[in-house]
Every structure is written in structure tokens, then in C-alpha cells.
Amino acid sequence: MAETATTSYTLIDGRKVSKDIKAEISQRVLERKAQGKKVPHLAFILVGDDGASQTYVDNKVKACKDVGFHYTMMRFADTISEEKLAKHIAHVNDDDDVDGFIVQLPLPPHISVEKINEQIRPDKDVDGFTNRNFGSIISKQPLLMPATPFGVIELLRRYQIETEGKECVVVGASRIAGAPLSMMLIEQGHATVTVCHKYTKDLGAHTRKADILLVAVGKPGLITGDMVKPGAVVIDIGTTKVDDPSKPNGFSIKGDVDFATVAPHCSFITPVPGGVGPMTIASLLLNTLRATELRLP
């Protein structure tokens, strides 16, 4: 018998969950203040003037204000050399007042992201980008979890979406999202995990098997309704900037999932924006609180 689309789905509200997490963090900041302990301080390093990066960092700064963290914004022209940027990172690494910091990506093409990430002190690496923190996923002594996958796992947990023994298909194997997410689904989620990437031959044959489909590629509309099993949970991690003259800043952010054709097949689905994006920010705040408490309990 042909499988048909389900008629109703639950929209996973990342904004609401992120708000709940922020309320929990605000409470913790107040408790620390009352105990005379240090208020967490998050610093942002932004290179160049990419509009989307500026928007992302503005949202992160606003989140710091919302929870009562201290923050510092550090801006550099896109002509800065890799050496100068590395020197600046060394300075922030040694600054005792900064508990965590991020280097917003993308960086200009003359700067190696790998080299720059590895300059970040792992216990201040609140994005969880360093090799040490990638290893945290399977470590007996975890430090700081990669922020985007941490947010996805937290979203599934708070919606009580069971992962144990489930067929999870991750589309995309990037260092920031797909690769660490697949490891976390195995280690923490006890799921059976398939990772698809640009060399995967028949993507639909894999995605159609997924109880939980998680997509982090950066290709708007990649996943269409015919690629999704009825009743699946679909998590869209894609964030692609597309020109949109109707928006005040001239662009909008699109996910990888063609929401209109996919949603009717789903039990749960994340929107873009308002799904995983706010959770990455919540994870960043959680990691900053953890970085502070690890150093100064």
C-alpha cells in the first residue's frame, strides 16, 4: 500500500525553548551575583563586514544582554593578516576577564579557519570548534560541546523525541554541524546513524529510511516531500542567506528543507528561521556559563 502524508505536524519552536533556557541562565546569573561570583563574559571577534555575520553577532549580543552576561565586541577589517588575528586571539586567551569567545565565520579566504580555530583556548571555546572540544563528544572528561549540535540534541530532548534505537539520517558532514551531530546522536542519543554528504549517490534512498532526518548542508530546498518517510521528525539546520528585497536588510535566511512539501509528511518539523538557529545561541550561552563555572565555580 502506498504511504500517504500525515495531515498534522508539530512545529518545533526553537524560539520558545531558547527563551526557557535563557530564563534558566538568567536565574543562574542572579544567583552567582548574589554569591559575589563573577558574571560570565562572552567576547565576539568579527572580521569584515558581511551582513549576515553582523546579524548573527547582533543576535548573540542581544542574547548576552537578555541573560545579564557581560560582553565585548571586537571588530577587524577583512584585510587583517592571519598572524595579527592569531595574536589577538592569544591576547583574549590570556585575558582573565573573558570567560569565553567566538570567532564568527566565515573568515576572509586568506585566513585559515582551521589554523585560527586551533588558536582558541579549548576551555574558552564556547562554539566548541576546537579539536579538543570535538573530542569532548566522546570524552570521559568533556569540556564544551559543539554548540549547534548541542542545541539540536537539547531541542529533541525538550520535545521528548526519543532517539534511542531510531534510524537517524544526517545530511551534511561539516565540522560545525553534521559531523559532531552524528557523533552526539550515537554517543548521547544511542541512535543508529547514517551520514550522507556530497558524494552520497542516492540521497533520497537514505532520507526515506529516516525516523529522524537532520539536514545541515546549506542548499535551500534540497529536501522535498518525496524524500521523507511519513511520520518522520525533520530538523533543518541549514542557514543560507538569499537576496530578499522585501526585507529591511535586503536578505532572508533559508533552510535546506522545502517546508511546504515536507511538513505534511512529518510528526515534528523545525521552521527556518525560529527552529535550530535560536538554539545555537542558547547553547553558546550555556557553554559560556559552563566555561565560567569550570574556571571559577
Catalytic center residues: 60, 104, 127
Q: How far apart are the first and last CA of the chain?
A: 59
Q: Is 102 in the site for ligand GUN (CB under 6 A)?
A: yes
Q: How many residues bind ligand GUN (CB under 6 A)?
A: 9
Grid cell of 58 as nine digits: 547582533
Nearest distance, CB of residue 77 and ligand GUN, angstroms: 18
Task: Give every CB contact of residue 191 below 8 A, 6+ residues apart in sequence.
Answer: 163, 164, 165, 166, 167, 168, 185, 212
Contact map string, positions 113 to 132, toward ligand GUN, x by CB under 6 A: --------------x-----
Mask of contacts with ligand GUN, 22-61, x by CB under 6 A? ----------------------------------x-----
Give the whole-angstrom CA distance, residue 171 versus residue 207. Answer: 8
Please tell me the total number of residues recorded for the chain in this structure.
Answer: 297
Assess 292 for contact with ligand GUN (CB under 6 A). no
Residue 288 CA to residue 126 CA, distance in Å, equals: 6
Contact region with ligand GUN (CB under 6 A), list: 3-11, 103-111, 158-166, 187-195: 103-111
> Binding of ligand GUN at residue 105 (CB under 6 A)?
yes
CB of 70 to ligand GUN, least distance (A): 19
Residue 116 contacts residue 82 (beta carbons within 8 Å): yes
Cell of 3: 504511504
Tell me: does residue 104 bind ligand GUN (CB under 6 A): yes
User: Which residues are CB-neighbours of 110 under 8 A, at least 6 positions away?
Assistant: 81, 82
Query: Do 285 and 67 contact (CB within 8 A), yes or no?
Result: yes
Of 139-158, binders to ligand GUN (CB under 6 A) are 147-148
**Nearer CB in complex with ligand GUN: 90/260:** 90
- In the complex, minimum distance from the CB of residue 241 to ligand GUN, in angstroms, rounded to a whole number: 10
Q: Which stretch binds ligand GUN (CB under 6 A): 98-106, 135-143, 194-202, 204-212?
A: 98-106
**Cβ nearer to ligand GUN, comparing 43 with 269:** 43
Q: Which stretch binds ligand GUN (CB under 6 A): 16-24, 96-104, 187-195, 208-216?
A: 96-104
Contact call for residue 280 and ligand GUN (CB under 6 A): yes
Our CB check for ligand GUN shows the closer of 147 and 286 to be 147
Distances (CA, A) of 6 to 9, 126, 224: 8, 39, 15
Q: In whole angstroms, how far apart are CA 200 and each of 4, 33, 227?
A: 26, 51, 14
Candidate segments 8-16, 102-110, 161-169, 209-217, binder of ligand GUN by CB under 6 A: 102-110
The angle formed by the CA atoms of residues 219, 76 and 105, to the nearest 5 degrees, is 20
CA distances from 25 to 66, 124, 180, 289 (A): 10, 18, 24, 8
Q: Which of 92, 103, 120, 181 binds ligand GUN (CB under 6 A)?
A: 103
Closest Cα to residue 184, out of 151, 227, 223?
Answer: 151
Contact between 13 and ligand GUN by CB under 6 A: the answer reads no
Decide if residue 283 touches ligand GUN (CB under 6 A). Answer: no
Contact residues toward ligand GUN (CB under 6 A) are 56, 102-105, 127, 147-148, 280
